[in-house]
Structure 1
Amino acid sequence: MDYAGLDYRNIRFSVDRSLTKIERKNQYSRNRKTNAKPTDFLSVIEINSNYIDLVDRWYSIKGFNTWLGACVVLIGFSFATMIAVAPFMTPIADEPGAMWFMLIFLLPVSLLLAWGGWWLIRTECGRYTHYPMRLNRKTGQVHFFRQNGTVLTVPWDSLFITLGEAKSSLTGTTYDLRVHVLDLDGKTVRESFSLGYPSILGNAESIDRFWAFIQPYMEAHDGIERTWQHLKQKTGYLLPIEGRKEGWRWSIVQNYAWSGYWPWLQLIASPVLGLNAIGRMIAMWSCKQPEWPAEVERESTIDVDDSYVLTWRDNGPLGWWELWYPLICTVLGIGTAIGIIGWMFYSI
Structure 2
Amino acid sequence: MDYAGLDYRNIRFPVDRRLTDEERMHRYRQSSISEAPPMEFLSVTRITSRYIELVDRWYPIKGFNTWLGAALAGTSLFLCGLMILAFFLAPAAGQSEALWFMVIVLLPICLGMVWGGGWLIRTECGRWTHYPMRLNRQTRQVHVFRQDGTVLTVPWDDLFITLGTARAPLSGTTYDLRAHVLDTDGATVRESFTLGYPSPLGNAESIDKFWAFLQPYMEAPDGVERTYRHLKEGGYLVPVDGRKEGWRWSIARSFMLAAPWPWLQFLGSPFLGLNAVGRMVAMWTSKVPRWPDDVEMTSKVERSDPYVLTWRDNAPLGWWELYWPLICTALGVGTFAGVIASILLTS
Tell me the equivalent position of 2:275.
Answer: 276
Q: Give the CA deviation at 1:87.
A: 2.3
Runs of 5+ consecutive residues of structure 1 not aligned to the other structure: none
Partner Cα separation in structure 2 for residue 192 and residue 38 of structure 1: 24
Partner Cα separation in structure 1 for residue 89 and residue 218 of structure 2: 70
Partner Cα separation in structure 2 for residue 199 and residue 62 of structure 1: 12
Tell me the equivalent position of 2:323.
Answer: 324
Partner Cα separation in structure 1 for residue 92 and residue 323 of structure 2: 52
| Amino acid in structure 2 at the alignment position of 1:262 | W
Tell me the equivalent position of 2:250.
Answer: 251
Do 2:90 and 2:98's aligned partners in 1 also have CA atoms closer than 8 Å?
Answer: no
| Amino acid in structure 1 at the alignment position of 2:275 | N
Q: Give the CA deviation at 1:93.
A: 4.0
Distance 1:92 1:324, change over 3 A: farther
Does the residue aligned with 2:309 lie in a helix, a strand or coil?
Answer: coil
Do 1:161 and 1:178's aligned partners in 2 also have CA atoms closer than 8 Å?
Answer: yes
Tell me the equivalent position of 1:216.
Answer: 216
Bigger Cα displacement from structure 2, 282-291 vs 256-265: 256-265
Tell me the equivalent position of 1:337.
Answer: 336
Q: Give the CA deviation at 1:92.
A: 6.8
Do 1:93 and 1:99's aligned partners in 2 also have CA atoms closer than 8 Å?
Answer: no
- What aligned pairs does 1:1-348 form with structure 2 within 5 A after superposition? 1-89=1-89, 93-234=93-234, 236-348=235-347
Partner Cα separation in structure 1 for residue 330 and residue 208 of structure 2: 37
Bigger Cα displacement from structure 2, 28-37 vs 172-181: 28-37
Distance 1:92 1:275, change over 3 A: farther
Distance 1:88 1:194, change over 3 A: same
Does the residue aligned with 2:207 lie in a helix, a strand or coil?
Answer: helix
Structure-1-length-normalised TM-score: 0.98
Do 1:86 and 1:92's aligned partners in 2 also have CA atoms closer than 8 Å?
Answer: no
Partner Cα separation in structure 1 for residue 333 and residue 264 of structure 2: 16
| Amino acid in structure 1 at the alignment position of 2:192 | S
Partner Cα separation in structure 2 for residue 127 and residue 260 of structure 1: 28
Q: Give the CA deviation at 1:91.
A: 7.3
Partner Cα separation in structure 1 for residue 288 and residue 116 of structure 2: 26
Partner Cα separation in structure 1 for residue 20 and residue 345 of structure 2: 53
Partner Cα separation in structure 2 for residue 299 and residue 282 of structure 1: 34
* CA shift digits 1:118-161 (9 cap, x unpaired): 00000000000000000000100000000000000000000000
| Amino acid in structure 2 at the alignment position of 1:300 | S
Runs of 5+ consecutive residues of structure 2 not aligned to the other structure: none
| Amino acid in structure 2 at the alignment position of 1:120 | L
Q: Pairwise CA RMSD of aligned residues?
A: 1.0
Partner Cα separation in structure 2 for residue 112 and residue 232 of structure 1: 49
Partner Cα separation in structure 2 for residue 217 and residue 87 of structure 1: 65
Partner Cα separation in structure 2 for residue 3 and residue 154 of structure 1: 24
Does the residue aligned with 1:181 lie in a helix, a strand or coil?
Answer: strand
* CA shift digits 1:241-266 (9 cap, x unpaired): 11111010010111111111111110
Partner Cα separation in structure 1 for residue 346 and residue 247 of structure 2: 34
Partner Cα separation in structure 1 for residue 32 and residue 4 of structure 2: 29
* CA shift digits 1:70-115 (9 cap, x unpaired): 0000111111111111022257741211111111221111111111
| Amino acid in structure 2 at the alignment position of 1:117 | G
Do 2:90 and 2:96's aligned partners in 1 also have CA atoms closer than 8 Å?
Answer: no
Q: Give the CA deviation at 1:32.
A: 2.1
Partner Cα separation in structure 2 for residue 37 and residue 345 of structure 1: 52
Bigger Cα displacement from structure 2, 24-33 vs 9-18: 24-33
* CA shift digits 1:281-304 (9 cap, x unpaired): 000000001000000000000012
Does the residue aligned with 2:108 lie in a helix, a strand or coil?
Answer: helix
Structure-2-length-normalised TM-score: 0.98
* CA shift digits 1:14-40 (9 cap, x unpaired): 000000000000001221221100000
Partner Cα separation in structure 1 for residue 238 and residue 32 of structure 2: 29
* CA shift digits 1:151-202 (9 cap, x unpaired): 0000000000000000011000000000000000000000000000011210
